[in-house]
Amino acid sequence: MLKLTGIRRSYRIGPVTTEILRGVDLEVHAGDLMSIMGPSGSGKTTLMNIVGLLDRPTSGACILDGRDVSGLRDDELSALRNRHIGFVFQSFHLLPQLTALENVCLPLVYRGAGRPEMRRHAQAILERVGMAERTGHRPDQLSGGQKQRVAIARALVGEPALLLADEPTGALDADTAGEVMALLRQLNAERGITILIITHDPSVAGQCARQTRIRDGRLFEPKAAAADGA
């Protein structure tokens, strides 16, 4: 469903051009649960931004559902993000002024859903992530793990094919991180949602069926499923 070939991304700061990604090849199949590990600054977030259609590679092709996205206009990319991609961030990125339910509704707002329909969907997905009791809470009234559940609900409410999680457990303690990972794995197993998790944590990576590492601007996928630690 997603195919990256020869992705390069370089940043120019003044006269110096630094190439962060140097030819990343990656094929993600529907239903994959996949981790990307790598040292800080290795370009994991850069890669995720490209996969998430927030950024354009300097060169290389990104093919989503058989469609090359490199030539698309900004509006078309927005629409693709809205329909096909869900984001989960390390720092949750919930809008502080909105309730949990309203936060979850956001992707549907930009899809043009009607209000009652939007709220019904959001309510259902919040129930699924175990947040049925706190739909009216604002983010500052929720714990870290609860916030991340709401964020996951928001990423899923539009029924995207691909869920991108950039260090989803990075701001959580070990127990809460375990719960969030369990939730992601269930969603992957039950609903067949394709999930790409960026992490520093080998135990998180260890729960993923496919594990990759990024090093020197390239992506490696050790054939052995067993991770040997960071």
Partner 1 sequence: MSRTFSVLSANAREAAESLRRARLRTVLGLVGVMIGISSVIAMVSLGEIAREQARKQFEALGTDIVVVRKAVGSGAKAIDLPNALQVAAAVPSITEAAPRISGRGTFRFAGRKVGGGAVQGVTRSFASVNRLTLQEGRFISDLDADRYWCVVGAGVAEAMRGAGADRLAGSLLEVDEVLFTVVGVLDGKEESYALPVQVNANKSIFVPITTAQRIAPDPGVEVIIARSGAGVHYEAAVADIRSYFRRRAPDLGLDIVTAKELVARMEAQMGIFTLLLGAVGSISLIVGGIGIMNIMLVSVAERRAEIAIRRALGARQRDIRSQFLIESVILTIIGGMLGIALGLAATWTICRFTDWDFLISGLSVASGLGTAAAVGLFFGFQPAHQASRLDPIAGLQGK
Residues lying near Mg ion in the complex (CB under 5 A) are found at 45
The interface partner of residue 41, options being ligand ATP, Mg ion, partner 1, none and the CB cut-off 5 to 8 Å by kind, is: ligand ATP
Q: 59 pairs with which residues across the strands? A: 8
For ligand ATP, the nearest residue by Cβ is 45
Nearer to ligand ATP, 43 or 57 (CB): 43
Q: Which of 17, 97, 141, 143 binds partner 1 (CB under 8 A)?
A: 97
Q: How many binding residues for partner 1 (CB under 8 A)?
A: 29
23 CB-contact burial (10 Å; exposed 0-12 / middle 13-18 / buried 19+): middle
Q: b vs e for 160-185, b when ≥16 Cβ sit within 10 Å of the residue's Cβ?
A: bbbbbbbbbbbbbeeebbbebbebbe
Footprint (CB under 8 A) of partner 1, residues 127-156: 154
Q: Which of 114, 174, 223, 229 binds partner 1 (CB under 8 A)?
A: 114
Which three-class secondary structure state does DSSP give residue 206? coil
Rounded Cα gap, residues 156 and 164, in angstroms: 11
- 49 belongs to the binding site for partner 1 (CB under 8 A): yes
- 109 belongs to the binding site for partner 1 (CB under 8 A): yes
The interface partner of residue 146, options being partner 1, ligand ATP, Mg ion, none and the CB cut-off 5 to 8 Å by kind, is: none
Q: Which residues, at least 6 apart from 147, have a Cβ–Cβ distance to it below 8 Å? A: 92, 94, 139
Binding positions for partner 1, rule: CB under 8 A:
45, 49, 52, 54-55, 74-75, 78-79, 81-83, 87, 89, 93, 95, 97-98, 106-107, 109-115, 154, 158
